[in-house]
Amino acid sequence: MICRSKHFWLIVKEKFNRAPSDFLLRSLSSTTRNIRENRLALDLVRQSSSCILWRNFATRTNWGVRKRTLFPKLFFIEDRPSMSAIEHEETLAPLRLAVQEQGNLVRKLKEEKADPVTIKAAVTELKARIKSLELKVLELEPKEEKFDRLKMEDLLKQKFFYDISFSIYGGVAGQYDFGPLGCAVKNNIIDEWRKFFVLEEGIFEVNTSCLTPEPVLQASGHMEKFADYMVKDLKNGECFRVDHLIQTSLEKFIVDSKDREAIAEASKLISQLDNMKKDDYQAIIDKYSFKSPLTGNDLSEPIEFNLMFSTNIGPAGLLRGFLRPETAQGIFVNFKRLLEFNGGKLPFAAAQIGKAFRNEISPRAGLIRVREFDLAEIEHFVDPDDKAHPKFDDVQQVELPLLSACNQMDGKSPVSIAVGEAVSKGLIANQTLGYFMTKTFLFLKHIGINMDKVRFRQHMSNEMAHYASDCWDAECKTSYGWVECVGHADRSAFDLTHHTNATNVKLVAEKKLASPKKVKVMECLPNKAKIGKAFKQDSKVIITHLAQIGEEEASALKEQLATGSSVTLSIDNKRVTLSAEMLTVKEYEKTVHVEEIIPSVIEPAFGIGRIMYSLFEHSFREREGDEQRTYLSLPPSVAPYKCSVLPLSGNTEFAPFTRTISSSLRQLGVSHKVDESSGSIGRRYARTDQIAIPLGVTIDFDTLKEPHSVTLRERDSLEQVRLPVDMVASVVNDVARGVITWEDVKQTYPKFEQQEATK
């Protein structure tokens, strides 16, 4: 730590207001002279109950990851150039202030219950200011964070990680095919996810239909709400997503215009586009007379376009169906079966990994906005009055980078807070939501996401999906900006209630009452014989209907029967008249021990493609001093192949060793790539680095001598060790499964420098 201005330390305090352990206080005091020289910093450390530890300090004291985990309360700023981020705060201060002022205005208007139009306008302005702030933050990113997306995409395409679908037919926008490497990475991420969630949490994995009949999506709200606005070219029918079209057109306007005021206004409109509705869009199109950017033709007014792919199920064309836009509904409609599978008890969770489909109007940004994608969703069903999680204690010390709705309104940055604290303060609504957010955080870390590029952003009240009552997105920073990768929504009772209403099948759980209670029951008792005689084949429907009549209606029927001699009911749109002989309404008291409750649903939903794309960006590297040597630094668990097997040359004596090693790897189920092609060993290493292979086994002339040995090379550090041929498969397997690390390997086997090319 070094001396800084008072303003600097105030920002530190603001940004990282944390609680240090006494231990650290002592460490800092005794090892860092500068601290004692700066009273403000020392005060800060004294006041709080944990502390900030700069990366420089950690490096200097040589604390490894292991040692640091002993002190869970410490807060480390890692892999971040120590001071620049904080210096930038001085630049950002006025922008933050502007957001905060507007945030306060919105709060005030809401408190005063101002008219909705005024509030809406204030919120729109607030979001625009938040967006300006965010853009500035991204612009101030330190230079080494700049990243060459084209170069990465070239690599991914050339090695066929993934590429556009049907390209020999011209390609289809928003659809991608995963080649051998991309498919393996995806499978590995899914496998790790399954271990992390399904196995460890005892979640019930299910697999339900993609084709979904219309009534299901009517009930779930997707028929009505799952739409974007588009405009059509009035002559050729071409469609554009209206916000994209306006943005591009305004950007062009800004470039062409010389009027500074007009430019400022257009810029402001761009920042507000996300929050506009039909009329706002129309007003802009009218004002600027925007036409189709491709033909110059006039445009239709904005049309709501439902994003679901429709089809017909069955040959008659009578049952309209859609490809599911999320996998969640398949779980909700199976709620009863799953509850029964869990012995009727709450809480439990079900998960589904599978394809979902959205007919995006204009797909873009590579894997991020596509028409066909893999989701992994969990629906955790829980008593709405008790959202505690039994394993919450295990994780409550974990610190999450949280950007709350409130902090967004105040123009603040994400703050790292222990999840236990965040829940107890009410920042995160409940333990279950907090538990899953933490599991997500640890999962992203486990598969290799750069944790400095992750934040949890809470939705503000007017941006939530139609089904959600609270929502935190795990976002990953990419060259496209912050990308929502995992949504954590409290869907409350929304879905189960709507499916119950649509089907008359009660999707509820029974909860034991603290003490039994007496309730009044009104029951409609049919005289089956009389009804059967009078209504023949319709009688079954009538009797079923009578059994489902609620308290209130039964009470009304009782009154009617008391005054008249018959009642008339509407059953399946037919009017049915029942005489007093056919129907008795019985009233009695009953002792009940349970009540019916509609469970709340907490949903973590993982977009596998977006996570994978972020992972590619976060692990794309260039070798120092050689821009051409790019590689992907994926962790062994996720890498498509776990190791390469490389004979040093075409020497035929190497072949038996290559075969033996490959076969022992295969027996252990370790995916690997044998490269017996010619070319220098260096060039072949570079090729394996490009496809993210973490370990390389090389057979050289020393291998031929007894005891037979090979070299093992690690991709990121370029370090090599020498180990016996018959150990290599199990060592690679252990590293791939995360049982040991490369550090462990280095401590067990001797270091190796360089092969000789000939002997």
**Could you say which residues in the range 304-343 bind a second copy, by CB under 8 A?**
305, 309-319, 321, 323, 330, 333-334, 336-338, 340-341, 343
Query: What gap in Å lies between CA 506 and CA 592, rounded to an integer?
Result: 18
User: Of 65, 121, 442, 502, which lies in the binding site for a second copy, with binding defined by CB under 8 A?
Assistant: 502
User: Of 4, 129, 159, 459, which lies in the binding site for a second copy, with binding defined by CB under 8 A?
Assistant: 159
Query: 138 near 481, Cβ under 8 Å?
Result: yes
First to last CA, the chain: 54
Residue in 645, 646, 644, 655 with CA at minimum distance from that of residue 704 = 655
For a second copy, how many residues bind (rule: CB under 8 A)? 80
- State which residue, 605 or 608, has the beta carbon closest to a second copy: 608
- Does 278 interact with a second copy (rule: CB under 8 A)? no
- Does 216 interact with a second copy (rule: CB under 8 A)? yes
- State which residue, 344 or 750, has the beta carbon closest to a second copy: 344
Task: Return the beta strands (E) in 598-743 as ranges.
Answer: 600-607, 620-623, 626-632, 643-647, 672-674, 695-699, 709-714, 720-724
Q: Which stretch binds a second copy (CB under 8 A): 47-55, 159-167, 242-250, 269-277?
A: 159-167
Q: Which stretch binds a second copy (CB under 8 A): 356-364, 463-471, 478-486, 647-655?
A: 356-364
- State which residue, 78 or 200, has the beta carbon closest to a second copy: 200
What's CA 176's distance to the chain center, in Å?
Answer: 20
- Does 616 interact with a second copy (rule: CB under 8 A)? no
Residue in 314, 315, 242 with CA at minimum distance from that of residue 281 = 242
What's CA 538's distance to the chain center, in Å?
Answer: 51
The site map against a second copy for 512-551 (x = CB under 8 A) is ----------------------------------------
User: What are 337's two structure tokens?
Assistant: 């079966």
Query: What gap in Å lies between CA 97 and CA 410, rounded to an integer?
Result: 7
- Does 195 interact with a second copy (rule: CB under 8 A)? yes
Strands 227-232 and 303-306, how do they pair?
A: antiparallel
- Does 215 interact with a second copy (rule: CB under 8 A)? yes
User: Of 124, 187, 450, 651, which lies in the binding site for a second copy, with binding defined by CB under 8 A?
Assistant: 187
What's CA 228's distance to the chain center, in Å?
Answer: 21
Q: Which residues does residue 483 pair with via DSSP β-bridges, in sequence order?
A: 476
- Does 637 interact with a second copy (rule: CB under 8 A)? no
Q: Which stretch binds a second copy (CB under 8 A): 2-10, 85-93, 184-192, 598-606?
A: 184-192
- Does 456 interact with a second copy (rule: CB under 8 A)? no
User: Of 182, 347, 401, 635, which lies in the binding site for a second copy, with binding defined by CB under 8 A?
Assistant: 182
Task: Name the minimum Å distance from CB 175 to a second copy.
Answer: 4
User: Of 272, 479, 671, 741, which lies in the binding site for a second copy, with binding defined by CB under 8 A?
Assistant: 671
Tell me if the bond preceding 94 is cis, omega within 30° of 0.
no
Tell me if the bond preceding 347 is cis, omega within 30° of 0.
yes
- State which residue, 564 or 679, has the beta carbon closest to a second copy: 679
Query: What gap in Å lies between CA 574 and CA 557, rounded to an integer?
Result: 17
Torsion of CA 180, 182, 186, 191, to 10 degrees: 50
Q: Which stretch binds a second copy (CB under 8 A): 24-32, 205-213, 243-251, 649-657?
A: 205-213
Q: Which residues does residue 311 pair with via DSSP β-bridges, in sequence order?
A: 321
Q: Would you say how long the chain is, in residues? A: 759
- State which residue, 37 or 744, has the beta carbon closest to a second copy: 744
- Does 501 interact with a second copy (rule: CB under 8 A)? no
- State which residue, 163 or 301, has the beta carbon closest to a second copy: 163
Residue in 717, 677, 681, 683 with CA at minimum distance from that of residue 697 = 681
Query: What gap in Å lies between CA 391 and CA 387, rounded to an integer?
Result: 12
User: Of 75, 176, 435, 620, which lies in the binding site for a second copy, with binding defined by CB under 8 A?
Assistant: 176
- Does 206 interact with a second copy (rule: CB under 8 A)? yes
